[in-house]
Amino acid sequence: MYTIIERQDLLPKVHLLKIQAPKVAAAAAAGQFVILRVDTEGERFPLTIADWDAQAGTVTVIYMEIGVSTRKLAKLGKGDAILDFAGPLGKPTEIENFGTVVCVSGGFAMATIVPIARAMKEAGNRVISIVGARSKDLFFWHDRLTKYSDEMIVCTDDGSAGIKGLVTEPLRDLLSSDTKLDRVIVIGPSVMMKFCSKTTQPFGVKTIVSLNPIMIDGTGMCGCCRVSL
């Protein structure tokens, strides 16, 4: 069993759990995930590792209530326990000193982009972050991403914060400027990742996206999560 030592409600239906999982925390890296099961009657489902502390032995996950399992998870609080918490799984994001890295986040992908931005910054990169949401009320962990960013660009569909428009617009401006971009990492809705990739393609900047296929075993052996391009 894995004990919940902290719970935060970040937004309506969006919650943070800090879980005691020393072995997972000791091996975790940016871009990886865990597969958890709330109880014996629950299904196994993946969540991104949003943060971890190897010394304290804790792993932080952020999730949205969108189905039976996440609604069941949302009923748990500090002191409660989760039955299974397997990880870290998945290939970590490639981290090295590339130069200037642009981290683009859309929707609720902040939980995934923050550890990547942190790792890129710690590796010596200049980090430019572009974040987008429908409205300013849908942002969370903005202060954390700002901490790891040399430059922060905010976009909202309704203009309630930052630039009114899509994240592809400031991304295109950066690509067209004198700033040399060495890598772009995009995480968010599939359509956003598609058009960000189309934006960077003419400029020849290597672009990494995070796909979210159906997940069963979490190791790639069954082939269910493979994506054909």
User: What residue has token string 């209530």?
Assistant: 65
Whether the CB-CB separation of 153 and 162 falls below 8 Å is answered with yes
Q: Which of 100, 111, 117, 112 is nearest to 174 (CA)?
A: 100
How many angstroms separate the CA atoms of 64 and 15, rounded?
6
Enter the DSSP assignment of 165: S
How many angstroms separate the CA atoms of 82 and 16, rounded?
14
The residue type of 199 is T
Q: Measure Cα distances from 78 to 4, 20, 73, 209 in Å.
A: 5, 11, 12, 34
**Secondary structure of the chain: what % helix, strand, coil (to 5)?**
25, 35, 40
Q: Is the N-terminal amide bond of 88 cis, ω within 30° of 0? A: yes
Query: 225 among the known binding-site residues?
Result: yes
Residues in binding site for [2Fe-2S] cluster:
222, 225
Residues in binding site:
222, 225
